[in-house]
Amino acid sequence: MLFAAGYIREAAIAQRQAVPVFTDFGAYLSDESVRQLYQSAKTSDGEPVLEYMARCFSVAISKYALFSGRTRFEVSGETRVISIDLNDVIGSQTPEGSVRTAIMYMFARQMAAKNYFLREEVVIPVVAPMYHEYHMKRIADVKDEKKVIAYDEFHNTAGQDAFVQTCIKDAREGRKWGIRVVLVSQYLYDFPAALLNAATAVYVMRGGNTADEDVLRDVFKISEEAIRRLQREATGPDPRLGGNFLALFKTKVGYIVQLLTNTVGPIELWAFSTTLEDVALRDRLYKRLGDYAARKLLAEKFPTGTAQPLIEQMKVDATDSDDASVVSTLAKRLADGYLNKLAKEMEVNP
């Protein structure tokens, strides 16, 4: 009724409220018709199937609370970029933790990229005619766009064959769907051989790792001269000269190997910095000035992309009577100066 009246978003919300959740399955297992059908069925260990399923749902509800209720996460049709942080939900390096990690990675893939795989021949036959036009527009919106699925910290998926095989399938078949798969990790050996063989472009950002060099030799047949240049020239990003890296591009005639340089401006350097003190300074300024103004101010004051030399000097000059940390003091000084300058400009040009 909501959809027919033109309330598309409200219809989607109502749909989410209508579907079953984990806690409903206990009642379904107790239904008389279900019990008549399966009361004598047993697992290979001799446990009654209905008891086994009830136990599985109970464990799932407690261990995967994320899936036990109705979602409050909404992705609109206009959304173009989705970023999902899995750091606090992936499991430990145990068999149970590995299963948890695989489930979370697959869940993130479903949330972020489910519309990538919409196809008319799959969707239209299973939905009512009143929804055809709506879904055809969704399919058209996605079909002609270049799409990206990017996984950082890929080493967390080690041993998760189901998820790795999904990535391999996406990498091999992604071109025909307009999907580009990006996998990022610290070392080349974090990636299974099948993924390395399926890759059309490989970027090695830093030299000097013996295991990476073995992969380059064995899998990609890279010359010793290229490896020597990687060791000598790809030593990490320089704030003035940029960062050198080794790029391998798979073509119809073989691999093309180039040592390239990536240069970025000071605003990008501050946006991507992961140095502890710089991140702390940036975060404090984000809270006071907002993201854009904070990065612009930092780029103006520290065009090399780091405030570490000044922070180290301030630590040397600090005394026991200083109440705030050096980073907090510097953040306050920068923010106050920026806001005072802004106020004066407003007075001159009201």
Of 14, 39, 74, the domain-final residue: 74
Asked if 102 and 137 sit in the same domain, the reply is: yes
CA distance 323 to 339: 23
Look at residues 145, 165, 199 and tell me which one is the last residue of a structural domain: 199
What's the structural domain count of the chain?
A: 4
Do 175 and 84 fall within a single domain? yes
Same domain, 66 and 83: no
| C-alpha to C-alpha distances, 341 to 281, 283, 294, 349, nearest whole angstrom | 20, 21, 14, 12
Asked if residues 270 and 306 have their Cβ atoms less than 8 Å apart, the reply is: no
Give the mean pLDDT of the chain: 87
How do residues 147-203 score in pLDDT, each as one tens digit? 999 999 888 887 778 888 888 888 888 888 888 999 999 899 899 888 888 888 999
Q: Domain check: are 91 and 191 in the same one?
A: yes
Same domain, 93 and 167: yes
End-of-domain residue from the set 173, 199, 225 = 199
Supply the pTM of this predicted model.
0.73
Query: Cα separations (Å) of 54 from 25, 40, 60, 237, 306?
Result: 8, 15, 10, 54, 55
Are 180 and 208 within 8 A, CB to CB? no
Tell whether the torsion through CA atoms of 30, 32, 38 and 40 is positive or negative. positive
> Please, which pLDDT band fits residue 130 given cuts at 50, 70 and 90?
very high
3-class DSSP state of 130: helix
The answer to whether residues 174 and 233 belong to one domain is: no
**Residues 18-40, mean pLDDT to the nearest whole number:** 87
DSSP structure class, residue 126? G
* For residues 11-33, average pLDDT: 87
In which element (H, E) is residue 247 found?
Answer: strand 243-251
Measured N-to-C along each axis, helices 308-317 and 326-348 cross at an angle, to the nearest 10 degrees, of: 110
